Chains A and B, each alone.
Chain A
């Protein structure tokens, strides 16, 4: 007879709120906004989980984390086991717990979401990720790796796609080298997402655990200049290569005045502040950033919210978010929109910039036109239409353009032979295989700008396909 397991009685408590620092305090520094669940919070929230026989939440996760089981481990008071379960599928839980759009993925698929608030899966994931990182280094969970296969793989780019791919390849027993062009690994996690949303120490620690698992990370090397993908395979002896270089090239609007001093791409603005620590210039960092008094951020995705909230923290008196549709259509996560508003970002909706004006080479304002929403377009949203004769000027001394990114031409230099889409993205099959045998790709360089977890999913899937390909090639 199997022992009787006590039946789980889910609580009917409301969703446990995430503790966060008050807006008026946090807008003055770069420390993290959300402080994370205590173990009591985590237990209370985990108890809301129905522990469904058929956990639909897991199907909503791009890397199919065993959500039911890790939540179950919290209920049973065994966070250590929860971490192990999480790390079987996701090498960066503390990162994903902070930046994944859970509301559109696992949490959207939670049974409780049908009648009310879903289980706060993301917050529980973060709780376990942080639990692991709070342990002494030697007690942290390093996923077990298979016996050494003798195969060597190169991963180009150390962002979410590359790290997930590298982690999975290492787990499968392969020797992995990750090439990063910047001086620190993490890709967008390091240069793009601000400290107040994802502390760099968290990224460093989780990347450090991947290194513990045998992943070698080489910074300061630009594939496409120092070696091509072909050279990695022919001269440097890699059996397979994964390209996860992201879509880093910033888009501009193509309007007059965009090269005036004081106009930034969101990438430059965020890189100066996050990667280079410009908010501590000149006391503790040597890279400056222009600290405007009136900052206009154009766009309404997560990157735009990050830029606007960064401008607040750099001491701007007024920060405007300029967006051509309404709040309804904003691509940013609700939580980030809410945080931005709390911190004092002013939303100028239904307006579209026509021109950036300047004097003596520096920005003085944006000429914008009012918009209204017309018919539904191919994006499924109502298309903004200009209101004729409604031009007006927004006075500002800094403009940050957060209008998305495209494929970097350097990636094409790295592997000119690969089939590409019209917009320069690499064409792959469902497993990430490109037109060249042994070369795989995933993340934003395949899909265009997407989310951290989708990139991680693509990296992981490609790793499995690389594993199969390397073994098959040897056998045949």
Chain B
């Protein structure tokens, strides 16, 4: 069992949770993820972690309440436990110095953008972070990213309630156009990563994306997470989650992400009906 040691509601539907997991904390690297199971009957879901402390033995992750499992997670508080937490999984993001890099984090993708920006800046890259969300209150980890030494932050919201109004691709395009970045990294909704990749392609800037396909085991055993990259089938969990953004088949990824949409809605509404607190 993995005890919950920290919870924080970041917005109406976004939560941060810290758990005691010293062995994972000792090995965690930016860009990796966890498989989490809330209860004995629960699903295994992949969640990216945003922070960890080897010394104190904890890891933190951020999740949006979208289905039954995340709904259930959002009800836990300090003193509760998660049934299972496995990690760190996936290949860590390459953070060796690459000159000037733009990191785009959309929505809860900020959970990955934050440690990646921190690691890249620490390694000596010049880092510009573009943080985006639909609206102000869905912006995640803005203060933490702003406080990172050696990182410049641009905030974008669809509705203009914070930072500049528009999409993350606008500031990305500006950086590309000005010739002021050598590489880009994007993490967030697939549609956002797809357009970031299209922007990068226009200016011939290499871009790495952190993909979030559906997974079951997270260790390369089931093949649920397969994505087509450069015409080849790759396994997101063991070969990713990072891939060359210019080579990803985005339509396929987005289609595969929707496989269980109906089931997930049914399970969540069932859960919400039986739930006494009506969050």
A286 with B43: CB separation less than 8 A: yes
Query: Which residues of A lie under 8 Å from residue B194 when comparing CB positions?
Result: none
A249 with B220: CB separation less than 8 A: yes
Q: Does B107 sit within 8 A of A, measured CB to CB?
A: no
When each residue 192-232 of chain A gets 1 if its CB lies under 8 Å from chain B and 0 otherwise, what string results?
Answer: 00000000000000000000000000011110011100000
Central interface residue in A183, A191, A265, A271, by most chain B CB within 10 Å: A183
Q: Per a CB cutoff under 8 Å, which of A226, A272, A287 touches B24?
A: A226
- Per the bound structure, the CA–CA distance linking A282 and B89 in Å amounts to 28
* Nearest CB in chain A: distance from B40 CB, A: 9
Query: Which residues of B lie under 8 Å from residue A252 when comparing CB positions?
Result: 223, 226, 233
B86 with A286: CB separation less than 8 A: no
A267 with B44: CB separation less than 8 A: no
B residues 22-44 touching A (CB-CB < 8 Å)? 23-24, 27, 32, 37, 41-44
With A226-B23, A271-B216, A409-B239 already in contact, the answer to whether A282 and B222 are too (CB < 8 A) is no
A282 with B217: CB separation less than 8 A: no
Q: Does B252 sit within 8 A of A, measured CB to CB?
A: yes
Q: Interface residues of B, CB < 8 Å — how many? A: 45
Query: Which residues of B lie under 8 Å from residue A191 when comparing CB positions?
Result: 217, 221
A288 with B260: CB separation less than 8 A: yes
Q: Per a CB cutoff under 8 Å, which of B27, B44, B83, B222 touches A225?
A: B27
Q: Does A248 sit within 8 A of B, measured CB to CB?
A: yes
Query: Which residues of A lie under 8 Å from residue B252 when comparing CB positions?
Result: 259, 361
* Nearest CB in chain A: distance from B234 CB, A: 10
Q: Which of chain A's residues has its CB closest to B260's CB?
A: A288
* Nearest CB in chain A: distance from B227 CB, A: 8
- Per the bound structure, the CA–CA distance linking A267 and B226 in Å amounts to 13
* Nearest CB in chain B: distance from A388 CB, A: 27
Query: Which residues of A lie under 8 Å from residue B42 when comparing CB positions?
Result: 286
Query: Which residues of A lie under 8 Å from residue B256 when comparing CB positions?
Result: 259, 261, 361
Q: Which of chain B's residues has its CB closest to A405's CB?
A: B221
- Per the bound structure, the CA–CA distance linking A248 and B237 in Å amounts to 13
Q: Does A182 sit within 8 A of B, measured CB to CB?
A: yes
Q: Per a CB cutoff under 8 Å, which of B27, B227, B235, B263 touches A282?
A: B263
A residues 225-282 touching B (CB-CB < 8 Å)? 225-227, 248-250, 252, 258-259, 261-262, 264-265, 267-268, 271-272, 276-277, 281-282
A222 with B86: CB separation less than 8 A: yes
Q: Per a CB cutoff under 8 Å, which of B23, B217, B220, B251 touches A221?
A: B23
Query: Which residues of A lie under 8 Å from residue B223 when comparing CB positions?
Result: 249-250, 252, 264-265, 267-268
Q: Per a CB cutoff under 8 Å, which of A222, A258, A271 touches B89?
A: A222
Q: Per a CB cutoff under 8 Å, which of B84, B221, B222, B227 touches A220?
A: B84
* Nearest CB in chain A: distance from B174 CB, A: 34
B88 with A276: CB separation less than 8 A: no
Q: Does A284 sit within 8 A of B, measured CB to CB?
A: yes
* Nearest CB in chain B: distance from A245 CB, A: 9
- Per the bound structure, the CA–CA distance linking A183 and B88 in Å amounts to 15
B residues 62-89 touching A (CB-CB < 8 Å)? 68-69, 83-89
Query: Which residues of A lie under 8 Å from residue B44 when comparing CB positions?
Result: 183, 276, 287
When each residue 188-229 of chain B gets 1 if its CB lies under 8 Å from chain A and 0 otherwise, what string results?
Answer: 000000000000000000000000000011011111101110
Q: Does A51 sit within 8 A of B, measured CB to CB?
A: no
- Per the bound structure, the CA–CA distance linking A249 and B42 in Å amounts to 24
A268 with B88: CB separation less than 8 A: no
Query: Which residues of B lie under 8 Å from residue A248 when comparing CB positions?
Result: 219-221
With A261-B256, A268-B223, A276-B44 already in contact, the answer to whether A225 and B216 are too (CB < 8 A) is no
Q: Does B164 sit within 8 A of A, measured CB to CB?
A: no
Q: Which of chain A's residues has its CB closest to B219's CB?
A: A181
Query: Which residues of B lie under 8 Å from residue A226 when comparing CB positions?
Result: 23-24, 27, 87-88
Q: Which of chain B's residues has its CB closest to A246's CB?
A: B221
B263 with A281: CB separation less than 8 A: yes
* Nearest CB in chain B: distance from A110 CB, A: 36
Q: Per a CB cutoff under 8 Å, which of B68, B222, B227, B266 touches A271?
A: B222
Q: Does B270 sit within 8 A of A, measured CB to CB?
A: yes
* Nearest CB in chain B: distance from A292 CB, A: 12
A271 with B217: CB separation less than 8 A: yes
Q: Which of chain B's residues has its CB closest to A262's CB?
A: B259
Q: Does A410 sit within 8 A of B, measured CB to CB?
A: yes
* Nearest CB in chain B: distance from A275 CB, A: 8
- Per the bound structure, the CA–CA distance linking A252 and B227 in Å amounts to 13
A410 with B238: CB separation less than 8 A: yes
Q: Does B182 sit within 8 A of A, measured CB to CB?
A: no
- Per the bound structure, the CA–CA distance linking A321 and B217 in Å amounts to 26
Q: Does A290 sit within 8 A of B, measured CB to CB?
A: yes
- Per the bound structure, the CA–CA distance linking A261 and B256 in Å amounts to 6
Q: Per a CB cutoff under 8 Å, which of B224, B238, B255, B260 touches A409?
A: B238
Give the 3 A-B CB pairs with smallest separation, nearest first. A288-B263, A361-B255, A268-B222
* Chain B residues with a Cβ under 8 A of chain A: 23-24, 27, 32, 37, 41-44, 68-69, 83-89, 216-217, 219-224, 226-228, 233, 235, 238-239, 251-252, 255-256, 258-260, 263-264, 266-267, 270
Q: Name 15 interchain pairs, CB-CB below 8 A, sorted by A.
A: A181-B86, A182-B217, A225-B32, A226-B24, A250-B222, A259-B226, A259-B233, A265-B223, A267-B222, A288-B260, A361-B255, A361-B256, A408-B221, A408-B238, A410-B220
Apart from A182-B86, A277-B41, 14 more pairs, CB < 8 Å: A183-B83, A183-B84, A191-B217, A222-B87, A250-B223, A282-B267, A286-B68, A286-B267, A288-B260, A288-B267, A290-B260, A408-B219, A408-B221, A410-B219
